[in-house]
Amino acid sequence: MLLFPPFGVLALVYAAQVKSLYQRGHYIAAKQASNIVHKLYLFSRTGLIAIASLLVVYFSFNLLTGMEPQPHTDVQSLTSIQTPSGPASARYRYGR
């Protein structure tokens, strides 16, 4: 049984208490621990399903839209950048 770890660990701790409480005659405490285990299991299953669903949607979206990154700028426009000219450019180049 796969469980979402934060709730799954707590569920295992309470599940270990149920049998010992029942054997000692603490039936109400055993029932309460059993109810807590059931709730934690439901929360754990819901969390696992939610995460799995998000992963499926994410990867499906990537498959449908294509996984190749699209370039944001044209390489030709990057190589044709003009440098400033005139008196202001001299100050720019020599830091004055």
List, as one string, the DSSP characters of 26-55.
-HHHHHHHHHHHHHHHHHHHHHHHHHHHHH
Predicted confidence at residue 28, as pLDDT, reads: 95
Predicted confidence at residue 9, as pLDDT, reads: 82
Predicted confidence at residue 44, as pLDDT, reads: 85
CB count within 10 Å of CB 45 equals 16
Indicate the DSSP class of residue 83.
P
Q: Which amino acid is at 41?
A: Y
More reliable by pLDDT, 40 or 78: 40
Supply the pTM of this predicted model. Answer: 0.56
